[in-house]
């Protein structure tokens, strides 16, 4: 099986190269190899590669910058998935694509299901929602995974930012009124690889293609997440000036950003767990494992 992987340098793409290597022949590309804002370049890439499955982990993920670059965000997040889907359909291939909790407005009480209406608050959220719809309308078979708060040993993320700030600062203010589940890039990659194997084994007839929520279990807020990172890092021997009790909770109104975030990013994973008989670890064990990768040599 031949797998075309986009976004190989990103957090998820980095882990996907590892997870997919035993599954098939992986042809991994990134921005220098193919500009996903260029539809003709995408078509040329797919037609040259002739993959059996396209795993699209590339995205425009600069949430705040997207507010001032809506056209570029739309090209990468919305148009590219449609082009990939159209090319996959012509080849008889299928597509794995990753989306985001930011497709929701965060006003729901409780966890969002795949059936809940989307209502993104930001350019990033709208373009990711439009990318979902574009792929669904492309004619390709697909798996779309909505996820949240991605963290990993490779690349930039919230946990690494807290570790960096914690080395120099004795106190920190962190937003405490936005809720979600930190989810590791390696969990996303491992589940993807498992389901690509399953589809290869079972074929198309009985395989449940579709849209799924894929996040770690439980929920937290950014402030408690930061406190957990610092406490775990200290337990692993990391020297930090910052301590959990000197991380102070603030409302998001005191930390304004160009892009509005949903207050509730909790995603219900029951559909994924039931359809594929999966057990998903809690966010604490996910973050603990990532910190061990970062801090323990």
Q: Hey, where are the domains in the chain?
A: 2-157+181-219+264-282
Other beta carbons less than 10 A from residue 261's beta carbon: 21
Tell me, what's the pLDDT at 32? Answer: 84
Residue 33 CB partners (closer than 8 Å, separation 6+): 45
The Cα–Cα gap between 274 and 290 comes to 26
Question: Annotated catalytic residue: which of 60, 102, 112, 124?
Answer: 124
Span 134-147, pLDDT tens digits: 999 999 999 999 99
Confidence of residue 204 (pLDDT cuts 50, 70, 90): confident
Residues paired with 28 in a beta bridge: 5
**Residue 234 clears pLDDT 90, i.e. is over it:** yes
What pLDDT does 122 receive?
A: 97
pLDDT of residue 31: 84
pLDDT at position 48: 95
Active site residue 27: no
Q: What is the pLDDT of residue 120?
A: 97
Residue with tokens 């304004």: 256
| Whether the predicted pLDDT of 69 surpasses 70 | yes
CB 121 within 8 A of CB 133: no
pLDDT band at 297 (very low <50, low <70, confident <90, very high): low
Domain formed by 2-157+181-219+264-282, architecture: 3-Layer(aba) Sandwich (3.40)
pLDDT tens-digit readout, 245-262: 999 999 999 998 999 999
The pLDDT assigned to 11 comes to 94
Cα separation values, 195 from 41, 132, 214, 257, 273, Å:
28, 19, 12, 37, 12
Residue 140 to residues 84, 129, 200, 246, Cα–Cα distance (Å)? 9, 17, 16, 50
Residue 82 has pLDDT above 60, yes or no: yes
What is the mean pLDDT of the segment spanning 54-78? Answer: 96
Task: Enter the tokens of residue 9.
Answer: 């340098």
Share of the chain above pLDDT 90, in %: 94
């Amino acid at each position: 099986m031949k797998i075309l992987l986009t976004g190989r340098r990103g957090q998820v793409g980095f882990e996907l190269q590892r997870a997919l290597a035993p599954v098939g022949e992986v042809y991994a590309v990134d921005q220098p190899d193919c500009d996903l804002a260029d539809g003709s370049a995408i078509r040329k890439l797919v037609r040259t590669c002739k993959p059996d499955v396209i795993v699209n982990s590339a995205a425009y993920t600069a949430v705040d910058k997207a507010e001032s670059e809506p056209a570029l965000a739309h090209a990468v997040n919305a148009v590219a998935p449609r082009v990939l889907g159209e090319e996959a359909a012509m080849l008889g291939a299928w597509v794995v694509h990753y989306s985001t909790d930011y497709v929701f407005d965060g006003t729901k009480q409780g966890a969002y299901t795949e059936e809940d209406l989307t209502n993104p608050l930001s350019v990033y959220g709208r373009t990711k929602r439009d990318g979902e719809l574009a792929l669904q309308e492309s004619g390709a078979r697909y798996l779309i995974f909505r996820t949240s708060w991605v963290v990993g040993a490779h690349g930039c993320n919230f946990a690494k930012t807290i570790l960096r700030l914690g080395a120099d600062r004795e106190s920190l203010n962190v937003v405490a009124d936005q809720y979600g589940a930190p989810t590791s890039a390696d969990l996303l990659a491992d589940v993807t690889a498992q389901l690509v194997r399953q589809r290869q084994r079972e074929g198309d007839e009985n395989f449940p293609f579709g849209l799924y929520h894929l996040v770690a279990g439980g929920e937290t807020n950014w402030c408690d997440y930061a406190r957990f990172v610092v406490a775990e890092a200290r337990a692993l021997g990391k020297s930090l000036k910052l301590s959990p009790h000197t991380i102070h909770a603030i409302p998001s109104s005191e930390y304004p950003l160009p892009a509005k975030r949903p207050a509730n990013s909790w995603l219900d994973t029951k559909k994924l767990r039931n359809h594929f008989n999966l057990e998903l670890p809690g966010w604490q064990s996910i973050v603990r494992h990532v910190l061990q990768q970062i801090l323990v040599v």
